[in-house]
Structures are given as structure tokens and as C-alpha cells.
A and B are shown apart, each in its own frame.
Chain A
Amino acid sequence: MSIANVLEIARKYPCREQIITELNDLIGSPSEPLPNAIYVYGHTGTGKTAIVTEFLQSLPIKSKILSCIECYTSKLLYEHVLNSFYSHTVSKSNNYTPFVKCESMHGFIESLRQLPADSSYIICLEDAERLRDMDINILPTVLRLQEMTGLNICTILISQLPFDKFYLKTGLVEVQTIFFPQYTKAETQTILGNDFVNVKKRLASKLDNNEWSKILDDLESDFYDNYLNIFLNVFYRACRDFPELRSISRDCFQVYVEPVLNGTIDRNDVSKLWRNISKPLSAALTAVYMRMDSAAENQSNKALEDNQSFKRISQSVELPYYAKYLLIAAYLASHNAANQDKRLFVKNHGKQKKRLQTVNAQAKVTEKMQTNLGPKSFTVDRLLAIFYAILDEKVGLTCNLLSQISSLVHLKFLSFVSGEGNLMEGSARLQCTVGLDFVSHIGRIVGFNVMQYLCDFM
């Protein structure tokens, strides 16, 4: 491909010129022999697929780009590739039949062999790590199609993983690898800065206020650069995923620019602007990757501040009084060993002999604590026993009480380990799925100190 083309793509994808040149070098001019396989890897959001797609489309070579998630069976994979190379489109007129029915590697190779040998072909497989889960022969075969078909054909694999994750027991053939490095902070800022015009347009259409739109239009890229600087200082440590950063920066910019629009803060007063945005930014940081506020975008300001209390809201699901105790009992049952129950819940549990052996056994490191290793399962009988032990008042074992166990299961606070549906006969085993924070919170509401009853904290 000509240099002009490379530059064209490089302009579209800033900070990637070197990689595009490398790709172009490997593919070479259309009549040249292609490499057997190219392996492209790098983190998500570094432009692997976008650049390879753009590049292949600008080539006068027949190419097919497939996602291994989409083509989850080998049959789909083969037929899509063949359809594309034989320029066959499935449509209503041919009753959505593929060019040839192809279910095995043998058929696929045979059909490929019948392609005209004088042109070149490229198959590009995204999410190539999925190939490992498909039939065992696919991965080694697609890496050496040239040898097997006698065509000038090349396979490009795109994945997040390093190539050593693909090795089979008997090894794989050599491939050419291209690594897409993660954008550096400066590069991220440049790319986000290029987006300023779009951000302004989006915001203007959302605000729907002529006067404000005018102020917005007047803002210069320096202003946005300042914002990005502040933004990246907060976010860059927790998240380097470019699409994620872009989406959050767009949302937060509205909060940043609002005081400038309504005239409370001068646009050049950087420190005041910073004080204004720092709180919403750190609130947004807690919600990075969550994409929680996308629905409530119009009130993004409020949503960002609310995110911090989101957990609290989820915790304040108002449970009935006995259900709260049941949940605490379930937590204790899950995180205490059954042989400790007597000591914890019976008043006169007898004298405990203190021997060095037992002292040593009980000395725990945080890593081996029950609360860190996950919940153990317990029977309904044990749950009820602990429930009665921690509850001061007397309450009858009624149907109402038992039904609260199943509502806790429905709320996903408890889950069945085995014997689902045998709640009444007592053979069911359950486990408690909520965390210590949650349970101590509930405990505080009913005036019960959970920590006191956990062996881990004694």
C-alpha cells in the first residue's frame, strides 16, 4: 500500500503511526507473498481492531474480518470466510444458504484450494483467544493455511493476551507479532483533546440554551486541556481504558463547565474551577467502569454525587425484624466452625482448657480467616439453633418464620448449596452471601454486635 494511505490512517488514529507502518511493511504490496500469520495483541481500547479493519479495507486484497465471539462454532467460521472469499452474500433470494455447506476442516481446506491462486487473501480473527476453546485443530491450522492450501493467504489474529497463552502441547508455528502499547498519559490527553469539538457539539445540543451555547462555542481548547489535566490526574491511576476514560470525561465536563456558563466562576480561574470539580470527580471515580449513570445522564451532576451513597441505599433494604436476625444467624453459621457453636452460644459451656496447642491453633493470620476465605454451608437446623440462641425473646417456629428464610434466598442474601426445595425436612444446605460490612450494618440497626460472635475476631 502506498505511503499516502498509511499517513491517511495515521491521521485518523493519532499516536499510532509506527504500528501502522509496521503492519504495512509486513503485508507489503498486493502481489507479494504474505506472512503465514500475524498476531496482534494489546490492551482493550488501544485501537487494534479499528486500525486493522481500516487498514485491510484500504487494501486491494480480499479480506474477511470475523469475531470469534460471533462465530462461536467452527461451522460458522468456515462458512463466513468462504462466503466472503467467493463473494457470495446470503439473502432472502437464496434462502440464506451459505456458498457451500462446510462442517469440517477438510471441507474448508478443500474449498479454499479451489480459489484462484493468483490473488491474495487475508482472514482476520478478532478475540482470537476464543479459538482455544474451539476444536483443537483450528488454531494450528489457521496459522499455517499457506502451507495447506498453497494460496497466498494470511491469518491475522487479534487478542488481548500474549502469544504464549496459545501454546499447545506440541507447540505452534512461528508468527509475526505486533504489539499495541497502551496509550501514555500524554497521548491520552492529546486524543481526548482532539475530541473537543464533538464534546462541545454534544453539550450544546443537550443544553438547548442559546446564550449558553454561545459561551460554550467561545471556549478554547486550552480550557479543555486544563480540564483534561485535572481529570486525568484523578482518573489515570485507577483506569487506563481509553473508551471508559472518554465516556467519563464527557460526563464530567458538563459539571466542570456549568459554573462558567451561568457566570459564577470566571473561565480563567483554574483553581476555583478545580475546587468546584474535585468532589464530583472523586465521586465519579467510585463509579468508574460501572456505567451506572448513563440512564440518568440528564441529571448527571446529582447522579455523580449520589453514587457514593449507592451502597448505603442497597443496604437499607428494609427487612422484617426476625429476618434481620435470621440473616445475622446465617452469617455466623457461615463463618464460624460448627464445633465452636457450643462455646459461642451456650451459657455454661464448661471450662476451657488452655493448652499451648489450642492457643497456637487459634492464632490466626488475616489471610486464613474464615471471613476472608468465603462462606461455608450450613443446615437449616443449625441456622435455627443459632437464631434462637442470639434472639432474646421467645418466638414460635411458625410457617411465617420459615418463609422468611425463602425470602432471604429470593433476595440473594442466602443461597442454596444443595437440597434445593427441601427446606422443611432440614436436609437443605445454605450459605450466606453477604459481606461483613453489610451484616454489621444490620446488626447495628437491631443492636447486636456481630463481631463479638465471630471466632475470627476473638
Chain B
Amino acid sequence: MPVAGDEIETTRKFLKDRLQRDFITFRGHEEEWENIRGLLRRTVETGESNSVLIIGPRGSGKSKLISSVLYSLLSEKDFYKNALIVHLNGLIHTDDRIALKAATVQMKLENAVEGKVFGSFAENLSFLLACLKSGDKSKSKSVVFILEEFDMFCAHHNQTLLYNLFDVSQSAQTPICVLGITCRLDVVELLEKRVKSRFSHRQVFLSPSGDDFNERVELFKELMRLPTEKELRALEPRSINLVDLNSSLCFLRNIFEPKNYKFSKTHVEKWNKHIESLASSVAVKTVLEYLYDIDVTEVFFKNFLYRLVSKLNPDHSELTVDDISKVASVYNTDGKVLLLNGLSVLELCLIIAIKHHSTIYDRDPFNFEIILGRFNKFAKTSTSMQGVERAVILKAYEHLKNLEIISPISGGAAKVQKEFQMNKLMLTYGQIDQAVAKYPALPTEVAQWAQSSIA
């Protein structure tokens, strides 16, 4: 009989696991999902060549769409046998040579290459192309190229790889499907003319929709509840034999497997009831709505839930509304204001001086001498900031520069002394006002000075 504490630990682990590693369950965008799936299936089954770009902002679920589609296709034997999947990432495969090598390995052609000297880029490319071209529609395996961070590939020299891939996809050779994933909307403009003309111009846009808050509450319930035994049994085991296929498909390597977990019936019931009651409470809904206003993407929400779930431990076996609002407050805070509150009064005074300068001169750049003059005008009349040496003020000013609160304006100023180096302010006035308001035990005269520049 498991102890109650252990149950909580397993619950936490289960929930974290599902939040972190469930690359397969894809929600929303059914049309796009079907579209991509159909495309891949046609490539493999009927030998159509294709190219498509999936475009969407970060966190909109582009990669997840691909992994989910692949997972569903790979469970079909026909697809599994007839497809080769090459997965490249613009961040990892930083030039065409590396990308080509990786592609060769992933297509299991490296043995064929080994006989020849795995020599120059050109040789390698022509070999790979020959392999691709020698096939025809009916007998050769189809190849699916997945290019993540597609925009990075556009920066490669002459876009050789893209040119050749698109070229093959345009001619009746080995059927290949090129799937590009990117978050740059202007990605087509990055392609060279000769590359662009070979691209099919099929684009799929994924943009998170932000007008259905009820869905978010449902998602909260779905992600937080535990599966009952019946549900667990109904699930099919998730496993793909990656060794046969392609060991580089890392996102499919460590997927979430609910079958590995076991819970007692009473605990599951109790927990699910707890979640239900949380989800129906008004206070929780306000917090969720607030988060929904910040960011509608699922990734952001999962990130929040991860943090929330991590609060669970045997001594704290249930989540409270208080927990939820506390975790949400992390996303509400402005890091810059927090940092401003950690500065000394002197440094804050300099920031106020900079603010006054910026308001008067309409955000003109400034140097240390200007700010020092303004600060000294204030310091002369104040009781708290009198008698601070220039060197100490300079040090405080440099500290602000290190924190990137002010940053030097560019333009050949290498030989200028640091006192005269022109800088610009990297904060908004609102942030400064907030920081002044929140600063603990700020001398009244400084607070007053912050309000008006007349010292």
C-alpha cells in the first residue's frame, strides 16, 4: 500500500513529465494538421514530391505539429517502411557541409560513402544527389526532409542545399518532401530568386488564437488531472523503434508514457475532484484569464503549470488559490524594476537625474558630466546625498552601464574618455516611477525630486 506522500511525489512527477515531454498530443489547428499529414502521406504512398513551409510565432506549436503528425504516421506500417526521415536544425547544422554530412548519416548512406573518400563538399553533394536522382517514383523510398529554423538555412552560402532540395522536389526523381519550419514571416523573401522559383509556395500559417478563454480552462483541467485506471488501460503504448528509423529524431526519443505510472483509485478521484474545484473557482479563473492576456501560447501556459506543479510535496499535498496567484505573480513582475529596487540610493538618484535630462531634452543622449552636474544641483540642497565624491559617483554610473540600464550609443567613440562617452537610457519613465514608488525607505527628498525636476 503506497504511502500518501509517495502518491504526491508520483503525481508531481507524472504531471511534470506530461508537461515537459508530451510532444505528441496536438491541440487545435485540425485543418493544418490534416493538411500536413495528407501531404506527407501522399509523398510516401503515391510518390508525389512536395515542399511546404510552416510559419508561426515562437511557441505556436510548429514542431509539435510535425512530431504529432510523424508519430501518427509512423504507427502505420506502410509509411514506416517506405519513408526515410531526415531531420535537420538550422541551429545545429550551421553550414551546408555539416548539414549534408548529417543528412547522409541519417539516410544511412554513410557506408556507401565510406568506400569513396568522404571528401569535398561538392563530391559529397553530387553523390547524395545521384542517390536521390537514381530513384524514380515507383520503386525508391521517399525521403522527408524536416528543416527546423528554416531561416538559418537561408543564410548558408549560395543556399546550395535548399536549391538542390527544391530542385529535386520539382523534378520527377526520388520523391522527397521538404518541410521547412520557421518563425519568420518574411522567410520567402530570404530565398534567392532561383531557389524561390523552385519552391512550391505552399505555406501553412500557425497562429495561436486568443479569443477562447474557456478552452484555456479546459486545458488547465486536462493538463492537471490524473488519468483513471480505465483511461490508462484504454491507451495504446507509445513506442517507436527509432533504432531502425533514425536516431536523430530526438524529440521522439524520450516521449511521455503514461503507462509507466500507477495511482491508487482513491487518490486519483480525490485529486481530480480537487482540480475540478480549483478550475471552477472564480479566483483561479481570474488568474488564468490574466495569464491568458499576457500570452496565449500553450508553451507559456505549460511553463506556468510546471512551476505550479513543482510546488507540490508531501507536506503540501494540494494546490491552493494562493499558490496559483503567487506563481502567476512571477510572470507579472518586471525584471528591470526588481533590479532597480536593488540599487543604492545614489544609483537611483543618478537614474532620476537621467530621467530629468531625458524629459527636458526629449531623450537626447547624455554623458557622465551632464548627469553629474544635474545630480550635484540636487545634492547641494539635500541632506542625504551631500559630500559624495566624484569617483564614487563615477563608479555608480559605471555600475548602471554594466547593468545595461544605460548603454553607449554607437559610432566611433572608441577614443572618447568615459566621462564624455554619450549614452542613452534603456528604461521607460514608467519603470523608473514604479521603482521609485516601490523602493524601500527612500529618503523623502529623493522621492520628491523624482516627481519634479525643480530641485
B10 to chain A, nearest CB (A): 10
Q: Kindly state the separation between the CA atoms of A240 and B343 in the bound complex, as whole angstroms.
A: 7
What band does the interface of chain A fall in when counting residues whose beta carbon is under 8 Å from B? 35 or more
User: A170: CB under 8 A from chain B?
Assistant: yes
Q: Which residues of A sit under 8 angstroms from B21, Cβ to Cβ? A: 33
- B58 and A173 form a contact (CB under 8 A): yes
* Given A32-B16, A237-B345, A415-B415: A372 and B370 interface contact (C-beta under 8 Å): yes
Q: Which of B173-188 contact A (CB under 8 A)?
A: 183-184
Tell me whether B251 and A147 are in contact (CB under 8 A): yes
Q: Assess the A176–B250 pair: CB atoms within 8 A.
A: no
Contacts of B307 in A (CB 8 A): 26, 176
Tell whether A286 is near chain B: CB-to-CB under 8 Å. yes
B251 touches A150 (CB 8 A): yes
* Residues in B whose Cβ lies below 8 Å from that of A150: 250-254
Q: Is the CB of A162 within 8 A of B183?
A: no
Indicate whether A185 sits within 8 Å of B94 (C-beta atoms), given known contacts A147-B63, A290-B391, A367-B361.
no
Q: Give chain A nearest CB distance to B438 CB in angstroms.
A: 11
Chain A residues 2 to 49 lying within 8 A of chain B, measured CB to CB, are 3, 25-26, 28-29, 31-36, 41-43, 46
Q: State how many residues of chain B have any CB contact under 8 Å with chain A.
A: 81
Query: In the docked arrangement, what's the CA distance between A279 and B151, Å?
Result: 64
Alpha-carbon gap, A42 to B336, bound state (A) = 10
Which A residues touch B343, using CB under 8 A? 43, 182, 240
Contact pattern, A 129-172, Cβ under 8 Å of B = 1, otherwise 0:
00000010100110000111111100000001111110000111
Question: A146–B330 contact, CB under 8 A?
Answer: no
Please name all residues of chain A whose beta carbon is closer than 8 Å to the beta carbon of B16 when the two chains form the complex.
28, 32-33
**Is A345 positioned at the interface, with any CB of B under 8 Å from its CB?**
no
B59 and A367 contacting across the interface, CB-CB below 8 Å: no
Assuming the contacts A33-B21, A148-B250, A366-B373, asked whether A238 and B91 have C-beta atoms less than 8 A apart, the reply is: no
Contact check: which of A41, A42, A105, A117 meets B92 at CB < 8 Å? A105
Q: B420: which of A152, A185, A374 is its contact (CB, 8 Å)?
A: A374
Residues of B within 8 A of A33 (CB): 13, 16-17, 19-21
CA distance A373 to B141 in the complex (A): 71
Query: Which of B98, B299, B374 is within 8 Å of A173, CB to CB?
Result: B299
Give 1 or 0 for each of B243-258: 1 = CB within 8 Å of chain A CB: 0000110111110000
What's the nearest-Cβ distance from chain B to residue A98, in Å?
A: 20
Q: Are B254 and A162 in contact (CB under 8 A)?
A: no
Closest CB-CB distance, A180 to chain B, in whole Å?
9
Inter-chain contacts of A415 with B (CB < 8 A): 415
B367 within 8 A of A: yes
CB distance from A37 to the nearest CB of B (A): 10
Whole-angstrom distance between the alpha carbons of A417 and B100 in the complex?
50
Cβ A171 vs Cβ B183 within 8 A: yes
Bound together, the chains give a CA A373 to CA B365 distance in angstroms of 11
Which of B19, B90, B248 has its CB near the most chain A CB atoms (within 10 A)? B248
* Residues of A close to B13: CB separation below 8 A: 28-29, 31-33
Partner of B344, one of A46, A147, A238, A290: A238
Complex interface: chain A residues within 8 A of B440 (CB): 184
Which of B122-130, B203-211, B281-289, B381-389 forms part of the interface with chain A? B381-389
Q: Is A319 an interface residue (CB 8 A)?
A: no
User: Given A29-B9, A171-B183, A237-B384, are A162 and B253 neighbors across the interface (CB < 8 Å)?
Assistant: no
A33 to B13, CA, bound (A): 7
The distance in angstroms between the C-alpha atoms of A282 and B334, with both chains bound, is 35
Q: Are A239 and B344 in contact (CB under 8 A)?
A: yes
Interface centre among B303, B384, B416, B443 (most CB of A within 10 A): B303
Contacts of A137 in B (CB 8 A): 90-92, 94, 152
CB-CB nearest in chain A for B306 = A35
Q: Mark A388-417, 1 if CB is under 8 A from B, else 0.
A: 000000000000000000000000000101
For the complex of A and B, the 9 pairs showing the least CB-CB separation, nearest first, are A374-B420, A162-B335, A182-B342, A150-B253, A150-B250, A286-B389, A171-B58, A25-B310, A237-B345
List 19 A-B pairs, Cβ < 8 Å. Answer: A25-B310, A33-B19, A43-B343, A137-B90, A137-B94, A148-B91, A150-B253, A161-B339, A163-B335, A174-B303, A181-B338, A181-B342, A288-B395, A290-B395, A367-B370, A367-B374, A371-B369, A374-B419, A435-B419
B interface residues with partner A (beta carbon < 8 Å) = 9, 12-13, 16-17, 19-21, 57-59, 63, 89-94, 98, 102, 151-152, 183-184, 247-248, 250-254, 299-300, 303, 306-307, 310-311, 313, 315, 330, 333-336, 338-339, 341-346, 357, 361, 366-367, 369-370, 373-374, 384-385, 387-389, 391-392, 395-396, 402-404, 415-417, 419-420, 440-441, 443
